[in-house]
Amino acid sequence: MTYSSSSSRKKCSLTSAAWKKASGSSFQVEVKTSSSWILTSLCGQSKDSEQDVAATAEQPEMDPTQVAQPLSEEELQVISQIAQQEPTSLSSFLMSRLPQMPPNTILTLRNASQGEFPSNITDDKERSDLETVGKTLVDIMDKQLGEGRDLLQKFLKCGEIRKLDGAIGKALRDGKLDMAFFTVLNLNIRDATIEAMENGESTNSSTDGQMGSGENPNRLQILQHIYTRCQEEVEKTVSPGVGLLNKLLRTEQASIRSNQLKHYLCPQEPKIIKSPDGKEVQLEGSKALVPPKEFIEALQNAVKQIRTVEKTGAADKVAAAGLVESCRQVAIEARLAIGEGYGVDSEELREFELALQPVFRPESPDSEYIQGFQS
């Protein structure tokens, strides 16, 4: 599942004329994906929303030119284990362990690839292991994220909205809208958000949920538009419950989320419409597009995944708490929609409440909704 911060929820209403103007020689959108920049951004937790940036404004940024904090014995053992792999399997083994590495370990490996080591690492063997694994990590980032960079550049050169939609659809069919691509895209969105704030440009959406008029889009707005369209395509390939949850987390306006919940979660009542010749046509009702049970499962898995990522050190407590709170807010709004659509005494509403109570109010500290997925 792909999670979106509040920044990722914003849509950019771009017209074809505006896109052509933005794609012209007078407006260049920079795509950043050097391995050094990517690794530094990963170590900085990749905060890609204005709220995240503002929340950390008073905290010192992790300086990528400085040596990282000393590693624990356990972390050194993991790195030694990776370094001992055969050259043919080193890259794949490293990638399998990367999701469990805390940001400080990644920063240490990045610095080690450039010959910089923590002060407590004096043993030649440990330094050699760090450098070997660090250079392998940089090579992996250069290759995989380089493909994500090339794809983003291709999208930016489309010149028209329709061509962009076609290119995104083809990329999805070819399996190119993967983690590497979204890593590149999200980090560029984060960088563009900071750039917009420094330039005094607004990053807030308007009352209709759009980012500006779309007539003079800046770098952030274009990247946000690409993000939204890619997310919409990916949502078509996942289960209805997960797709709906992603859509809701990406939508800023509560009124729009309310309409989406009623449309997808609630059964549609029969209605009568009039044809152009004045005849009345009876339309039958339909079942909910997304059964509440599927949406419950999507919320449960989302919270478990967030906590799992938090426990591995890939997300800090503040970021994880913010994501869980976003899911909780969506659940509150979904409860209201289900109550309105099925009735306050319905079995669907009762089941929804009982199933999600342990998700957001776990009774045990050992709960999966606190500890994440158990291996």
Question: What was the pLDDT predicted at 18?
Answer: 54
Question: What was the pLDDT predicted at 62?
Answer: 40
**pLDDT tier for residue 32 given thresholds of 50, 70 and 90:** low
Residue identified by tokens 């083809």 is 170
For residue 329, is pLDDT > 90? yes
Distance CA 227, CA 246 (A): 12
Q: Minimal CA–CA distance to 263: which of 290, 231, 284, 234?
A: 290
Distance CA 317, CA 304 (A): 14
Distance CA 326, CA 322 (A): 6
For residue 12, is pLDDT > 50? no
Residues 216 and 272 sit within 8 Å (Cβ to Cβ): no
- Where do the H-state alpha helices sit in the chain? 6-9, 16-23, 35-43, 50-55, 73-83, 87-97, 103-112, 124-140, 146-156, 161-173, 179-198, 219-235, 240-249, 254-265, 292-311, 317-342, 347-360, 368-371
Among 23-37, 81-95, 107-121, 187-201, the minimum mean pLDDT is found in 23-37
Question: What was the pLDDT predicted at 205?
Answer: 46
Q: Across-strand partners of 274?
A: 280
For residue 347, is pLDDT > 50? yes
- The pLDDT of 81-97, averaged and rounded, is 84
Question: What was the pLDDT predicted at 341?
Answer: 92
Question: What was the pLDDT predicted at 269?
Answer: 76
Residues 79 and 223 sit within 8 Å (Cβ to Cβ): no
Residues 243 and 289 sit within 8 Å (Cβ to Cβ): no
* Four-CA torsion 191, 197, 201, 207, nearest 10 degrees: 90
Distance CA 206, CA 10 (A): 9
Residues 252 and 9 sit within 8 Å (Cβ to Cβ): yes
Distance CA 305, CA 311 (A): 10
Q: Give whole-number Cα distances, 114 to 126, 365, 374, in Å.
A: 15, 42, 36
Distance CA 260, CA 247 (A): 9
Share of the chain above pLDDT 90, in %: 31
For residue 144, is pLDDT > 80? no
**pLDDT tier for residue 325 given thresholds of 50, 70 and 90:** very high
Residues 40 and 73 sit within 8 Å (Cβ to Cβ): no
Is the pTM for the entire model greater than 0.85?
A: no
Which residues are CB-contacts of 315 (< 8 A; sequence separation ≥ 6)? 45, 306, 309, 323
For residue 348, is pLDDT > 60? yes
- The pLDDT of 340-348, averaged and rounded, is 94
* C-alpha atoms less than 13 angstroms from C-alpha of 178 in its C-beta half-sphere: 11
Q: Minimal CA–CA distance to 265: which of 328, 339, 324, 354?
A: 339
- The pLDDT of 263-273, averaged and rounded, is 83
Distance CA 156, CA 168 (A): 11
Residues 140 and 95 sit within 8 Å (Cβ to Cβ): yes
